[in-house]
Structure 1
Amino acid sequence: MKKILLLVLILSTSIISQTTDTTYINGDSLKTKDVSINNAWDFHNGDDSTWALPTFNSIGWDTVDSRLNLDSIKADYWKGIGWFRKTIVIDSSLRYQTIGLVLNHYGASEIFLNGKLVNKFGVVSKTFEKEKIYRTDKPVMLRLDSSFAYLLSIRYSNHLPKIHSYLYPRVSKRIGFAATLQNWDKGLDDYTNSLSIGISFVAGIVGIFITLSVIYLLLFLFYSTQKEYLYYTFFTFSMGVVFLFGLLNNIIHSDLNFYFAKIFILPFFLISIFISILAFLYKIFYGQMIKFMRYLLSIAILSFILAFFNGIENITGIVFVVVVIISSIEILRVMFLSIKRKKPNAWVIGAGVGFFAGFIIIISIIGLFFGKTQISNLYIVFTFLLSIPISMSVYLARSSAQTNENLGIQLTNVQKLSKEAIEQEKRTAKLELEAQLVKVENERKTKELEEARQLQLSMLPKELPQLPNLDIAVYMQTATEVGGDYYDFHVGLDGTLTVAIGDATGHGLNAGTIVTATKSLFNSYASNPDILFTFSEISRCIKEMKFKRLSMCLSLIKIENNTLRMSAAGMPPALIYRNNTKELEEMMIRGMPLGATKSFPYELRETQLTKGDTILLMSDGFPELFNNEKVMYGYEKVKETFMEVADKSSEKIIEHLKDTVSTWIDGNDPDDDVTFVVLKMK
């Protein structure tokens, strides 16, 4: 037994002798608090895997604080990657135990214990391009054995300070890492609770504030004269954004853009919280803004600018805290005078504002004179932060109750009026109600048409196929009352292009419904080479959907090499311009709209295409277009118009057809959708 102890002491002495500094860890102190080990690390720029080994002697390396604060090192000291080494000596109570190590950094790290890799965060690299940063406070498990001394080596890279020399200091004032040892069980429980409870808790707060902002924004949109709703919207939305950043800060570990975005966005919303709630109170109790608000806004803008240039870690700087304190004091002053002057329900909202402002003043003063403070009890914070929304809800409830009470008194007075006056009131109320119903109905129809239009446009492909043998262009102009036009493309694995153009029966949401169904069915059957089978299946499916009188007119073509195959169901003919003969062919295929019957013998046509041939597919909106004299454009004019530019590019053809439509209807909106699909063989 004595030999074993002697061997352990010799090994421990050997490890200690390889570094210049030793940190002693007491088991009892580790049970009650975390131990910071930032000071006195052996450090060397560069990268060598042997530097992790206990046998390597790092005497002669620089002795540094592991955080490498920008204010305490030379500008060119950090080279982007380096190694940190420290010897840790434990007492006998920690032998065969497990302790936790927490690293907090904006770079990437690999953690070695006695030369063995125990964990890593991100990807350590000599170059910025290969490095992957990872910011976390997750504890790393360090399993201790019978030894008393351990070598802790950290391979660490952080290229951000050099690559983003302007923005990085505004995210963090340190290049290196903060290191802390902690009781493993306690640290793991704290970390797990922060993820499972803290994140979900904060997410709930974000949801509450964002929901409140949406509700009050809608109230303001309905009652635009009530500007207090708008100011309250700014307040709750700003609170939601601030908490959202706190939530994302615990979730996002490797996105550099998030940390930089926080510089620009977070200070604005922090200041917006106080400005908006003060503006809200001015509107509630004064009915207007006062001069003090201008001065406060000027200070707030200055605070925002200084916060940006001074860095997000210094957001509790003097100017910002002054803005917070001044705003909070002014809020309390407004509430005190409002309550003193017995403004209606002022005491209700004053209670919530008082709790909130008082809480902010306390933590701001603590932050100003004693440094940063952490409020560990989320439930206390939650109670204070919800004090204003809760008091506002009570305020609105009481105001509503008093309004109802006043209405009751007024109704009693109305009953004392003569029958003639009452009847006149009834008639007036009836007329107003009818006008309101008409307005609501018109708004409903307008909304329905807009929803149908947006639905129709969402069904269309976002990009046109790019094929070496085809030049493709499309155009659609929706009508005032949506007509249900639709077009789509599919390119098969063998290069076969499938083109669909259709027109749903009916208008508005009904047309949007049938287009949605057709879009889904087209995606399912477009790759099938059998057009007639595709028609049969789409027609059967639409029929089984029991859309009653709704159906879909559709033309479907497939172009494989120089072969065109086509079938149509109730659509206008396809026009084919033959470049060799300079003649126009009309491919008319008659058929019932899809979904009109359970089965129909649709016809399939096939033709060969050559270079320069152009195909025009269209809905009936163009040939059946009426001008101001109620004259229909007609299919013959369509052919003539097409022949005028059939030898041009697809885009030129589309532009000519668009100009023709605009001229014919003299700038008015068409009664039906107008859709063109032009395909030219290259």
Structure 2
Amino acid sequence: MGDSVSAQDEDIFQFPEPEVEEITPNMMLNESKIIYIQDLWKFRVGDSMDWADPEYDDSDWDYLSTNLSQADLSFMDWSGIGWFRKQFRVHENLRGKPIALIVERHLGASEIYLNGEEVYELGDFSTDPESVVSYNSNRPLALVFSDQEIQTMAVRFINPNYSETELMMGYNGFRFLLGDWETHQADTYSFISQWTGRNLFYIGALLAFGIIHFLLFVFYPAEKRNLYFAIFVGFLGILSYLIYKVELLENTTGTLQFLRFIFVTEVLVLTFATRFTHSIDKKITPFYSNFLVAGGIIISLLIWYYPTQTIWLRELAILIYVAEILRTVIVMFYRNRGGVWLLGMGVLVYVFSLIYNVMVNFEILSGSVQLANMIGSGFLVMSMSVFLSRDFAITQRKLEQKLMEVKHLSKRSLEQERINKEREIEKRLLEAENERKTTELEEARALQLSMLPKKMPSLPGYDMAVFMETATEVGGDYYDYSVSPDGTLVLALGDATGHGMKAGIMVAAAKSYFHTLVHEMNNLTMLERISSGLRNMNMRMMYMGLMLARCNGSEVDIATAGMPPALHFKKEANCVERITLKGLPLGGKVQYPYENKKLTMKTGDVLLMMSDGLTELFNSKRKMLGLEKVEDLLSNTEGMSANDIVNQLTQLMNTWSGSREPHDDITIMVLKMQN
């Protein structure tokens, strides 16, 4: 290292000194048969042939990566020439036979010394920078270790173009690997053959796509999308050829020149890919699209004349044009542009290939960058071509359909006029029928309401109130009462299945049976007789729920058939009891053994009977009201009249449902005991 580096700097940048590196046959048992030797070697700036001697004392040399990145060179005064040294402990089975020296990367020229003897010159080495010819071959070199355990390799290295290679490639040095000679010699020829065949096929396919779409533009110049696509594919073909050539070059100067072409072509490829996507979206102004094309051409010229100074501009331009392609495709997705999913798939695969390349370059993943580029760009070209072909086919089909529409326009007009007249007649007939049904339903509703008591009776010891709200013109709920000569009060609350005319008929029949049987028999017998009578009416799928409450003073006998529980508020205990009696609705084929319950009501007690429309009332979140909220309200009705309790319940209904129309009939009957 040069004298300009202080002791403090040496402490800061000092690497841990590795031991003599082991080289054994077991290290080549991996699939690629490669020994990955460390790229951390002893290094010294300058030039002296004494440094090739294996006995030379290099203990004061520093350790440095052979890649010679900017971070490695930032603390030393390096003019492009220096020496690397490394010692190996070679297993006896690897001595005396050829081992492949794999030059993974190499910028500049070098001389390789093994145990003091020069074994290879990579490129044309010279201390005169103008005379240096750099080396960049992929062919493995045969390396034979002598019959001794410790071997010393020294590399005399020069890179006169290090200022350019740092900016354009990110490193300035080399990296060596070791491997099985026969395997890697065969792999080199296989790689050249596969690389050439693969690239020639790919470039030929691009050329075919470009020519076809250019001819389509020539024959139909109004469709400029074919022109932009052909230019895009043409530049992509040029880019693929340049990448193919740079992989086979053997000198750094040529590589840098081809890299300059590659950088320029990359920007032009994305520029015309963007122009092509803009030509699909008719809402993008030509000025904006042409501005991006002009910007891409100007950036390409700047990159050509100032390749090292505009590396950042190239990266920025690639980012901008890829983002613009993605934005255009997403906007067309949002606008439901037909077939844009084809472009979207191609763009996504291309973007994923770029991300994959970045991850491979940063050694997060392993794989072939070149193959990923071919797949990504090839899929993009294919999707664009398929999109254009699909659009062309759709346009042709639309023209054919328009022609057929013109041929049949007169016939369809006459047919449509006839259909419109028929629909007008049907509409008028339907309006008349609806008006007739509405009138009938209004009459039925008036008849049903006329059958219900106008008001509840006024009897000593009882305070009663009732509320009914129907869901349709004719509801299925029913309430009634009857007072015997001895003062016995019988209350009835029923609920027929469904709504409309049939439900109204069931209610009328139930009322008739109730008033015929109410004073002749008890509650259970009444339920059985009414069920038998409704069953004989033979109204299919129509049933009637019914609750009877026979009140004699403070004694109340309750029987129910298919109705919600009655609620008994006990004033003294300040609690609400649910009176649940199981029973099938009336009118079924099964003769069910109905149950009853007798209870004693004291002054201030409240009996609440209701149809299921109250507890099954929905709010805006489709949640039912349920019994608990009704019980809570009933528990806080001390001092209220029966009518007040009904008002509280209707207020709860409106608050819960938000004043929306109920889905079912709601009937509430309140009986409160007085002194």
| Structure-1-length-normalised TM-score | 0.48
Q: Highest Rg: 1 or 2?
A: 2
| Structure-2-length-normalised TM-score | 0.49
